[in-house]
Amino acid sequence: MNTVADLNLTRFMGDWHVLADIATPFDRNAVNPLETYKLAPGGVVETTYSYREGSPDGPLRERNLKGFVSAESPAIWGMQIFWPVKAEYRVVYLDDDYQTTIIGRTKRDFVWVMARTPAIDPKTFATLMTTVQTLGYDLSQIRIHEPMRSLQVQETESNINRND
């Protein structure tokens, strides 16, 4: 699975809202997750994963992880969920403005579609989902987070009303 060719790691840092994903066992109850990256010395990306547990009103949870940037490419990390395991984390898509990204794995077992904002234009989201499918992921396994899910419903209803 190819990665982004010229990732500017410093520019990539900051908040990324998870719009859709195939969740890890640790994320199955995560609602409206947010990943925050901060570059630390030695090629380490301090990662804070925050979310509501179970529902939008559920308790706020936070996990602190570390991403270890590969010498091969700044777009390949070993994400340490717990010591000593480092899960593969590949930046496989990134728009030119660093506003949307897709993180994947060569096993195609997990994927994260993320943006700098909690929701994006439904057409842009659809294009990202097509990219996810092109990468070899089964779209039936994807869960879409709020508010992106609501925007998709609104877009569908709007299209139906225009065709009446």
Local confidence band at 78 (pLDDT 50, 70, 90 cut-offs):
confident
Local confidence band at 79 (pLDDT 50, 70, 90 cut-offs):
confident
**H runs (alpha helix) in the chain:** 9-12, 122-134, 148-162
Query: DSSP label at 26?
Result: T
For 35, the token pair is 């990943």
Q: Tell me what the mean pLDDT of segment 38-44 comes to.
A: 92
Question: What pLDDT sits at residue 1?
Answer: 87
Q: Residue 105 in 3-state DSSP? A: coil
Tens of pLDDT, residues 45-58 = 999 999 999 988 89
The model's pTM is 0.88
Domain 9-162 has CATH 2.60.120.10: no
**Quick check: 128 and 102 in contact, CB under 8 A?**
yes
Q: Is the pLDDT of residue 114 over 90?
A: yes
Q: State which amino acid sits at residue 141.
A: Q
d(CA 164, CA 159): 9
Tens of pLDDT, residues 139-164 = 999 999 877 666 554 554 444 444 45
Torsion of Cα atoms, 24 then 2 then 92 then 152, to 10°: -90
Tens of pLDDT, residues 3-38 = 999 999 999 999 999 999 998 888 888 999 999 999
- The three-point CA angle 66-117-97 to 5° equals 85
